[in-house]
Amino acid sequence: MGMSVTISAATEQDAEQIFRLQYLCFQSEAALYGNYRIDPLVQTLDSVREEIAGDCVYVARLGDEVVGTVRGRVTEDGAASIGKLCVHPRLQGHGIGARLLRAAEAALAGERGAKRFRLHTGHRSESNLRLYRRVGYETVGTAQGADGVPMIVLEKAAGAYATTA
């Protein structure tokens, strides 16, 4: 459809756009759980800036506009925790979410040596679960978010990325 969306590492200039985009995108999740205190809605702009400086943060751009984002970081057990994947509501369903996820996985395995990828989503977020399962994630457990929303934890081995990086 001629829509040229590019994926690249976020820079500090992207912080405000990421901050506003996630606030917009996670309204649907907040409504689904009747909880407007979920992590992506209460995160501060400074905290977004810190993540860009230290973590693996990718953005999808359409022209100058940030239309999608994802973050990841390697944790103590060697697994990379991936989170806050979101795409502008007007551009969802075109594969941008899957592309962002792939970019984060490749960087986390290649540059940062992640052996596994871990992510979580609210237990009622069916389309998120479908997306994650389609790209190879399997449920490994459940967790309770600080906001009280029951979460499903999913993991996938980094295998393919680790050997080609």
Ligand X SMILES: CC(C)(COP(=O)(O)OP(=O)(O)OC[C@H]1O[C@@H](n2cnc3c(N)ncnc32)[C@H](O)[C@@H]1OP(=O)(O)O)[C@@H](O)C(=O)NCCC(=O)NCCS
Is 96 or 108 the residue whose CB approaches ligand X more closely? 96
Is 91 or 157 the residue whose CB approaches ligand X more closely? 91
The CB density around residue 152, as the number of other CB atoms within 10 Å, is 20
121 binds ligand X (CB under 6 A): yes
Binding to ligand X in span 42-101, by CB under 6 A: 85-87, 92-98
Query: Letter for the amino acid at 138?
Result: E
CB of 109 to ligand X, least distance (A): 20
CB of 85 to ligand X, least distance (A): 5
Tokens of 9: 């590492």
- Residue ranges of alpha helices (H) inside 55-95 are none
* Length of the chain counted residue by residue: 165
Query: Can you tell me the distance from the alpha carbon of 97 to that of 43, in angstroms, rounded to the nearest whole number?
Result: 21
Report the interface residues with ligand X, using CB under 6 A: 25-26, 28-29, 85-87, 92-98, 121, 125, 127-128, 130-131
